[in-house]
Amino acid sequence: MQPVRYQGVSSSILDAIGDTPLLEVEGVFAKLEFLNPSGSIKARIARYMIERAEQAGMLRPGDTIVEATSGNTGNALAMVAAVKGYRMLVVMPEGLSSERVAISRAFGAEVLFCGNFHVNAALDRARELGRQPGHFCPSQFESEWNIEENRQVLGQEILRQLPDGRLPDALVLGVGTGGTLVGVGQAFRAVNPRVRLFAMEPSESSTILCGEIGTHDIEGISDGFVPGIFQRNAGLVDEVLTVSSDDAIASMRHLARAHGLLCGPSSGAHLLAAKRVRERFKELATVVTAFCDEGEKYLHEYFIQPQPAAVGPAHFG
């Protein structure tokens, strides 16, 4: 029997953020971040950035939170705003999964569309709106608080969970804001200076590696620019890997069928990239990644049609 995770009574859903399981899957370790309330890893930084802003006096009762997002941070901030009683304005591009829009609206947020697919135009608009009195823009793509949560909370959780006192040899993560890669990467470097950090981006939109901005299907990463967090910390990263959208989607479907993990495309891409690192560098035994958002957000796009019967062994790529 596993120990019971929650004991006693919580006063809010925000208490259920974090402490997600670490799963060993196909030879790599994956933090199951899609199990967070609001369905993604972004619940962590949403609560953290809002509570830090409250402590700093930058956010007061009755204020409006405004943020640019490709969706998951919008969903997470909308949840936090609902719990804490703030007005929430999500600024996002068109062309992303309709579930992301619906979830923010379900939490009572207003959704403002700006630009198409990439987040650049939404970013400018959110910044502008954030300068109005009574408005606060967390600026996830720039925020040191984003990095801080990942270093001090998520990174420490993973270090505690790795079995038999093992230290991480490698971290493989896609770059949306870069907060997870940089923050968790800093936590890992502090205990193992030789840990290898791999950034992952879609091969159709290899912005960090090739300066190329293209459309792709790995929602949540490669948003159309290299974010400030990544630029400031690029020296930490050892290598940038690419995964194609088609391979990411196939790997995402495989996660559901072979392991019962209903996650989004970035999780599929993370599994594939982490396994490639594990295979390429035999000396890197403990490779860590994360499954960042739930597959429910992509039901209409990828799962609603009957799929061909699953055949073959539970291994992919």
Q: Return the residue matching tokens 């999500």.
A: 90
C-beta of residue 33 within 8 angstroms of C-beta of residue 20: yes
Closest to ligand PMP by CB, 63 or 287? 287
Task: Please identify which residue in 38, 72, 97, 206 interacts with ligand PMP, judged by CB under 6 A.
Answer: 72
Catalytic option among 38, 40, 42, 245:
42
H-assigned helices in the chain: 42-55, 72-84, 98-106, 120-130, 144-149, 155-161, 179-191, 207-210, 228-232, 245-259, 265-280
Q: Based on CB atoms, which residue is closest to ligand PMP, 63 or 111?
A: 111
249 touches ligand PMP by CB under 6 A: no
Which among 40, 44, 32 has a CA at the least distance from the CA of 5?
32
Q: Which of 206, 222, 245, 266 is catalytic?
A: 266
Beta-bridge mates of residue 256: none
Amino acid identity for residue 87 in this structure:
R
Q: What's the token pair of residue 223? A: 């948003």
- The tokens for 118 are 């990439």
Would strands 135-136 and 239-243 be described as parallel, antiparallel, or unpaired? unpaired
Minimum distance between the CB of residue 86 and ligand PMP, rounded to whole angstroms?
A: 21
Residue 266 interacting with ligand PMP (CB under 6 A): yes
* 251 binding ligand PMP? (CB under 6 A): no
Told to check if 207 binds ligand PMP by CB under 6 A, we report no
Tokens 């200076």 label which residue? 193
Candidate segments 78-86, 104-112, 128-136, 169-177, binder of ligand PMP by CB under 6 A: 169-177
Rounded to a whole number of angstroms, the minimum distance from the CB of residue 277 to ligand PMP is 17
The correct pick among 80, 154, 292, 294 for binding ligand PMP (CB under 6 A) is 292
- Mind telling me the catalytic residues? 42, 266
Which residues bind to ligand PMP, rule: CB under 6 A?
Answer: 40, 42, 70, 72, 174-181, 220-221, 264, 266, 292-293
